[in-house]
Chain A
Amino acid sequence: MTSRALSQGRVGGGPRPELRALPLAIVLAAAALVVSSARSPSRLEPELSWAPPSWAHPLGCGEGGVDLLALVAHASLRAVLLAACVALVGFVVGCPLGAGAAVRRGRFERGVARACDLVQAFPTFLLALVVLSAVRSPSRVHLGLVFVLTAWAPFARLALAQTRVLRDQAFVEAARAIGVTPARVVLRHLVPNLLGVVAVQLGAAAAAVVVSEAALSFVGFGARDGVSLGVVLDQGVSAMLRAPHVLLVGAAAVFVTSVSLMAAGRAFDPTFARRPRRK
């Protein structure tokens, strides 16, 4: 039901072609800034604390005079890398699991569907709190592990629903009839046909990870290095009256990063959906 609602909610078809390059451009710009190391998020200039945007610091400065452009670029690049890893692991685990469950049918299928329901509705936030509270100094690896714990479920559910449609089609039956093993049917014949639908979910999952990571570090559960979009927001909220630009920069960075990841996922969708893969 939810997936249908999603597809109906997409108004106006796919994104315009020029928009597809936007996420890539943003990531490349952030990467260029990080690699050139012209600005560092760890260099503090106390005399520039909460300085508004200027030519030397295009996004202004935050607490202790940290250059916001550097902080945002480093933070969003790390968040995007983390999100990409989590989404890929979720995809690699969830897709074959869901497709395999739909092929096996019976009790296994019901069990996987039920597990997906439970895990997907589970508050990731609580899970993250549990795991992170037991670690002395949380790092991005811990955050990634926490997100992977729940990231597979939407992929498995999508693959399950889609495979239920595909499993009775002629090409699957033909593959089975010539003696292809079930595992090979899933990996070679079913998963490639799921890619279009799942690409959208890849983008959505990555965007969700970016937002969760920022939210966790906003409330004080983030990685100890303090380079996160949530930290920018945290500084912005505490200096809301003195230096509103910090808050606006942080909110805009979270928004742009998550929306461009979502757009990146959608950009893949129509190309796959329009020209079904034959195998």
Chain B
Amino acid sequence: MSRGGRSDAPPGGRGGERRAAATRVAAVVVGRAGEAALVVLALATLVFLALRLLPGDPAALVLGDQSSEEERALLRGKLHLDEPMWLQYARFVRGLATLDLGESVRRPGSPALDRVLDAVGPTASLASLAVLLGAAIGISAAVLGAGPWLGRRRGWVDRAATALAATPLLAFAPVLTFALAARLRVVPLPGDPEAGAGGLLFASGLLALPLAAHVARVSRAALDDVARAQFLGVARAKGGSNARVLWIHALPASIGPIVTVVGTQLGALLGGAVVLERLFERRGLGTLILEAYASRDLPVLEAAVVFSGALFVGAQQLAAAIHAAVDPRVRR
């Protein structure tokens, strides 16, 4: 990767250099963690305020219109809604810090966080498999489009990626499911409890397609950017094959934009995961949020939303960190 960057290390002792590098890394890590924590806190505050400042009594929302005033007062006491706002907020922030977000209203005795942690596994495996598949498919498509193998048909790759990027997941996922599950019977039907690995693979494949289209377009543009770079000419002069030049030399130099686009697509990925969990009736964070919304289980809803926000911000910071690690030009 040092090909792309400059190697003007300041003169000095080896040990001092290493220590300076360590402090720099530590500063970056602390900075990123602080930023992530701030974003999560902002989201959590928004959740907090939305439930308390918008018109309507949360207790009435939870218990329904027929509930008696005593029942509502009891619930308000339980959720601490009868305290002054600043005290509620302090309690909420302390709960965030100690990971104690209250109990489920609907299932007394089960902490909200436990239910969220139960649901994280399936969603995390769905999303991470989708990111892997999307990156693999997208990068392969971009290399195929940049290389000479397809001849005049190279334009097809671009056109397919553009068309796919413009097609909403909501439109093609049900149709593909209908065609492959209901007609051809090659993948399990939605709601099949024995779907297992096949169901997971199909769902994450669907989720990966829009991501793959974006990755393909951005990495194609990045590959075109470095296409005239001297180090590629050197690699070719040394007798490297087209595949070697593209995969080993050009791709690492253009990995930055690819990681960035994956990072910016994470939010869409999360929304897509909720839609797909609903479509396939899979267990996960999305279904938990929908369930908590339908039954007005406010503590679980708060916990699930804050937790998915934290996951999202963490993944995004990870993408930024990977970008900085592989590309010396971004490091400051």
Residue ranges of A at the interface with B (Cβ–Cβ < 8 Å): 1-2, 4-6, 8-11, 118, 120-127, 129-136, 207, 211-212, 214-215, 218-221, 230, 233, 236-237, 240-241, 244, 247-248, 250-252, 254-255, 258-259, 262
Contact = CB atoms under 8 A, between A and B. Distances in A.
Given A134-B54, A212-B271, A244-B178, A5 B264 contact: no
The 4 closest A-B CB pairs, nearest first, are A125-B271, A123-B267, A255-B171, A211-B168
B289 A129 contact: yes
A126 B308 contact: yes
Interface in B252-302: 257, 260-261, 263-264, 266-268, 270-271, 274-275, 278-279, 286, 289-290, 293-294, 296, 298, 301
Contact of B271 (A121, A131, A215, A220): A215
A8 B58 CA distance: 50
Given A133-B293, A218-B275, A254 B170 contact: yes
B158 interface: yes
The A interface, classified by DSSP as helix, strand, loop or mixed, is helix
B290 A219 contact: yes
B264 A2 contact: yes
B89 interface: no
B131 to A, nearest CB: 15
A129 B167 CA distance: 24
B88 interface: no
Contacts of A215: 170, 271, 274-275
B43 interface: yes
Interface stretch (B6-14, B24-32, B217-225): B217-225
B182 interface: yes
Nearest to B297: A133
A17 to B, nearest CB: 20
Interface in B39-84: 39, 43, 46-47, 50-51, 54, 56, 58, 61
25 contacts: A5-B218, A5-B222, A5-B257, A9-B161, A9-B165, A10-B162, A11-B158, A120-B264, A123-B270, A123-B271, A123-B309, A126-B308, A126-B309, A129-B289, A129-B301, A130-B43, A131-B54, A133-B293, A134-B61, A136-B56, A207-B168, A215-B274, A220-B290, A244-B178, A251-B170
* Interface footprint category on B: 35 or more
A33 to B, nearest CB: 21
A215 B271 CA distance: 8
Contacts of B182: 240-241, 244
B174 A9 contact: no
A254 B170 CA distance: 8
Contacts of A122: 267, 312
Contact of B168 (A129, A136, A255): A255
A11 B286 contact: no
